[in-house]
């Protein structure tokens, strides 16, 4: 398979895919956990509160993962661009 110039490096692809997998499994658990709680005797109200809590945690983690991925992509882009020259001032005594 030929590599294209727009293809991401393998490490970036793996990190992005693993973050997506984490979010998918968390979303899946938001549906499965309340059902399991009801089956094992927890009240429907308690299971609903648990589902809302899991959904809130999942949403917060998704936001943090996306922010982290954007920051890592920005850092990789800056490293690939190379040095931009001197932009600092010399210190005088």
Q: What is the pLDDT of residue 84?
A: 62
SS3 per-residue string spanning the chain: CCCCCCCCCHHHHHHHHHHHHHHHHHHHHHHHHHHHHHHCCCCHHHHHHHHHHHHHHHHHHHHHHHHHHHHHHHHHHHHHHCCCCCCCCCCCC
Residue 86 lies in a domain: no
Whole-prediction pTM: 0.61
Residue 9 lies in a domain: no
pLDDT surpassing 70 at residue 82:
no
Segments forming the whole domain that contains residue 26: 17-80
Residue 8 lies in a domain: no
Look-up: residue for tokens 């005088």? 92
Task: Check residues 37 and 3 and name the one with the higher pLDDT.
Answer: 37
Q: pLDDT tens for residues 38-73? A: 999 989 999 999 999 999 998 998 899 888 888 888
Q: Per the structure, how many domains does the chain have? A: 1
Distance of CA 7 to the CA centre of its chain: 20
């Amino acid at each position: 398979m030929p590599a294209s110039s727009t293809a991401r490096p393998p490490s970036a692809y793996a990190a992005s895919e693993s973050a997506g997998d984490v979010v998918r499994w968390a979303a899946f658990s938001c549906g499965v956990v309340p059902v399991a709680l009801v089956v094992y005797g927890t009240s429907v109200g308690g299971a609903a509160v648990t589902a809302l809590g899991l959904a809130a945690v999942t949403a917060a983690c998704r936001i943090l993962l996306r922010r982290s991925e954007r920051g890592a992509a920005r850092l990789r882009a800056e490293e690939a661009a190379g040095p931009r020259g001197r932009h600092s001032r010399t210190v005088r005594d």
